[in-house]
Structure 1
Amino acid sequence: MQKRTPYVMAFIVLLLIEVIIALFIHDRFIRPYIGDVLVVIVIYCFARIFTLKIKLLPIYIFIFAVAVECLQFLNIVGCLGLGGNTLANVVIGTSFDWKDIICYAVGCIFIVVIDNIVQIKNYIMI
């Protein structure tokens, strides 16, 4: 459990940041870009709470994020009749944007870089 504690803490903090961004920040940079970078990191931290290290997890998360973005292109919220549901609009999203996919990629690259730094640090400390 000790190895999972940092992921629990990171998940909670990053989720709170995402909620604050979604509810209170309506700008043209933080909400659309930083929020999208952070969302894949939040998903990664959540997955790592319950799983051991999966080498390709950042790629799986990227594929999941792109799939959700494609569902936005297909207007899945409207198709499911959830257009009036604010939570569904925020969680699933309502508009496809290629820039979102780039942000997801940046977030996943960040995950890989940080994981490698932590691995090197742990290796050196042994």
Structure 2
Amino acid sequence: MTEELFLSQNDSRPMYLQIMAQIKQKIRVGDWPAGHPLPSIRELSAQTKVSVITVKRAYSELEMERVIVTQPGRGSFVAAQADLPGVLAQHELTLQINELVNNALALGLDEVGIIALIQQAIAARK
């Protein structure tokens, strides 16, 4: 279970989104359970070599999404939201499904064709 986050200059996403994604991943897979303390903004800034403002933005966004809570003078912690890993997994899956549907529509498939391909993929796994 590693505490470190690894950001990539080759990733097209802004650094704050990379930080958010990696924190959510750690929560989703159970590495960071409810109540787990996050690195301080300054610590994470130094570790990832990004500005304090970038880390602060990531933490603020995560707090708005109710993924983390910040307690003045104590730090930031993984929120004690019911089934947070499941909620994050559902959200990630929804994003991926939306991307899949958009790509399929761009390729000229209609809703019936998309659903048929998904059903085939599910049937092939059984």
- Does TM, scored on the shorter chain, surpass 0.5? no
TM-score by length of 1: 0.28
Instruction: Indicate the structure whose relative CO is greater, using CA pairs within 8 Å and at least 6 residues apart.
Output: 1
Greater share of strand: 2
TM-score (norm 2): 0.28
- Which structure carries more helix by proportion? 1
